[in-house]
Amino acid sequence: MFVEKPLALNEEELRRVLEAWRSAGDRISDGRVQPRFAPATRYVMERLASGTAVVHCTVNAGSVPANSWVQDEAEGGGRIVGEVCHFVDLIQALSGGLTCSVSSVAMHENSEQPMQDTMTIALALDNGSIGSIVYVANGDKAFPRERVEVFRAGAVGLIENFRSYSVTQGGRTRRKKAFSLDRGHAAELAAFFSAIRTGKQPVSVED
């Protein structure tokens, strides 16, 4: 079963999705998890040692009109629920933990917006790792859209726009740059189709 993101907008919707999954006895995946399958993410994950981590994501998302469908709470939960879910899952993938507490604060810049979409979010994970997300709608589009930093075990991983990425450890930085942006869409679908054939869950239901 493949569900587009967000998987659910509230606990009742999530309960119904999980009931359908259990009754079908099938694999389940959803559209919010593709960044964990991106080549940049895989590169960083494969080269950092295990252990607790600090993961920070900056998302320079840019502004959208108040009447845009992405601001519609009923359509997809608004930008924070509909887009930030990508980075919550990415933090879990990079840290190896599951989120156990969340705190956030929004900037109230424009009262005409139906939902505020500039905010900071802090996550605590069950393995001792911590994560943070700065999601801004008041930046400049000339600045990179996505920047992900991972600090773990004396090393630093960096992802910029899912096109250039690096790992710094032992006083040395190894860098890579792809010809095109790849946020992991194709790899996620490949993993899902493989799961249908093999019976192996592509991403844990707990995630």
- Domain range annotation of the chain: 33-184
Angle between helices 39-47 and 78-95 (to 10 degrees): 30
Band the pLDDT of 165: cuts 50, 70, 90.
very high
Which residues are CB-contacts of 47 (< 8 A; sequence separation ≥ 6)? 155, 157, 167, 169, 174
As assigned by CATH, the class of the 33-184 domain is alpha beta
- The separation between CA 120 and the C-alpha centre of its own chain, rounded to angstroms, equals 14
Token pair, residue 206, equals 């707990």
Arithmetic mean of pLDDT, 149-169: 96
Measured distance CA(95)–CA(55) in Å, rounded: 7
pLDDT of amino acid 103: 97
